[in-house]
């Protein structure tokens, strides 16, 4: 049986993460791979080569599969994009290679149309183009604008590739004590936000 959400004939679910240096993009990829292991899956995570200075664009990759993963190539045809910083949208070609049935999770308080992405909405499945105010949730629960844990909670709700419980276990392994619990709270809040967004889109499609 293929991974949930994986295109037919593909052995692994491939994720590309976009952010800026200092936002925890590479950490997010590592946490996602740890969550996959927690769910009994195989995974790998690694950053792109290039500058990771504060504020510079950063890419990281994660593959998740039900069998050992042999390739270490960058993800060029992702099944899912996680976009940590919406200011990258008009300066980096974020959507290159995204599969027609791919998922996009965008950290924003607005919508895709608000960001001038109406064309994107028309080219891909609208029910797989989701947003979550991850930075705001991070500020609320962590006291700082680090959106990575919140986005992983949203990713779990959006794709079903990993479970929320696996995400929270991975977070607690990475961050001890109060910091871990604050990150878990952000992830759980984002999970419920995205799950509610999916329900609304489903009802809209039914209408």
CATH number of the domain at 140, please: 3.40.920.10
Mean pLDDT of the chain: 89
CA-based torsion, 23, 16, 200, 6: positive or negative: negative
Place of tokens 């149309």: 113
Domain assignment present for residue 88? The answer is yes
Range with lowest mean pLDDT among 5-9, 97-101, 156-160: 5-9
**Run of H or E including 105:** strand 103-107
Domain assignment present for residue 153? The answer is yes
CB count in 10 Å sphere of residue 95: 19
Residues of 7-41 as b/e, b for ≥16 C-beta within 10 angstroms?
eeeebbbbbbbbbbeebbbbbbbbbbbbbbbbbeb
The pLDDT, as a whole number, for residue 1 is 40
Domain assignment present for residue 24? The answer is yes
Of these ranges, 42-51, 68-77, 130-139, the one predicted with the greatest mean pLDDT is 130-139
Domain assignment present for residue 112? The answer is no
Domain assignment present for residue 30? The answer is yes
| Alpha-carbon distances of 125 from 12, 98, 102, 112, 186, rounded to whole Å | 20, 11, 8, 13, 27
Confidence of residue 3 (pLDDT cuts 50, 70, 90): low
DSSP of 46-69, one letter per residue? Answer: EEPSS---BTSEEEEEEEEESS--
59-110: pLDDT as tens digits:
999 999 999 998 889 999 999 999 999 999 888 889 999 998 999 999 999 8
C-alpha to C-alpha distance for 15 and 80, rounded to whole angstroms:
5
Domain assignment present for residue 3? The answer is no
Number of separate domains in the chain: 1
Domain assignment present for residue 113? The answer is no
Which residues constitute the domain of residue 168? 12-106+120-206
Domain assignment present for residue 111? The answer is no
The pLDDT, as a whole number, for residue 2 is 46
32-43: pLDDT as tens digits:
999 999 999 999
């Amino acid at each position: 049986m293929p991974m949930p959400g994986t295109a037919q004939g593909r052995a692994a679910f491939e994720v590309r993460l976009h952010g800026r240096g200092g936002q925890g993009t590479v950490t997010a990829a590592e946490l996602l791979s740890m969550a996959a292991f927690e769910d009994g899956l195989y995974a790998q995570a690694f950053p792109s080569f290039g500058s990771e200075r504060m504020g510079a664009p950063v890419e990281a990759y994660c593959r998740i599969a039900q069998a050992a993963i042999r390739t270490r190539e960058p993800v060029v045809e992702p099944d899912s994009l996680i976009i940590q910083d919406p200011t990258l949208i008009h300066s980096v070609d974020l959507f290159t290679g995204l599969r027609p049935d791919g998922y996009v999770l965008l950290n924003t308080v607005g919508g895709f149309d608000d960001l001038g992405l109406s064309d994107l909405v028309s080219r891909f499945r609208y029910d797989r183009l989701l947003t979550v105010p991850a930075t705001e949730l991070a500020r609320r629960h962590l006291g700082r604008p680090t959106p990575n844990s919140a986005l992983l909670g949203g990713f779990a709700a959006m794709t079903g590739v990993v479970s929320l419980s696996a995400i929270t276990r991975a977070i607690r392994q990475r961050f001890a004590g109060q910091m871990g619990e604050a990150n878990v709270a952000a992830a759980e809040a984002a999970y419920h936000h995205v799950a509610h967004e999916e329900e609304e889109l489903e009802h809209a499609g039914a209408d």
